[in-house]
Amino acid sequence: MEEETMPPTPRRLDEVRALLDRDEDYDEDPVGDPPITVSRYRASIRALLAARVPEPGILASAWSQRETDAFLAGSRATLRLVVEIIGHALAAAPTGDGSGGVD
């Protein structure tokens, strides 16, 4: 009995896009198992929503308090924007191009 190996976890933007492309291709020609299941979509959204602002890290020791505050504010703003984009994509009417109405 052959042991199945899991494909590597996509970590870069191009890898995630390629996985989504394969999933869209599966919608057109559903042979075998889908690349992404509905439960995996939900789990990925929940994981993203659980993301928190990262600590500035070791380099921050050379930063002023103002630079540290700016880093944290920018990180919080980015997370808020991502959540807003996801909310919009989930609530928007579907489009023919698979973008979910999000540009």
Q: What is the DSSP string of 16-81?
A: HHHHHHHHHHHHHS--SS-SS-HHHHHHHHHHHHT--PPP--GGGGGS-HHHHHHHHHHHHHHHHH
pTM over 0.85: no
pLDDT by residue (tens digit) across 38-75? 999 999 999 999 999 988 888 889 999 999 999 999 99
**Every domain of the chain and the residues it spans:** 11-46, 62-103
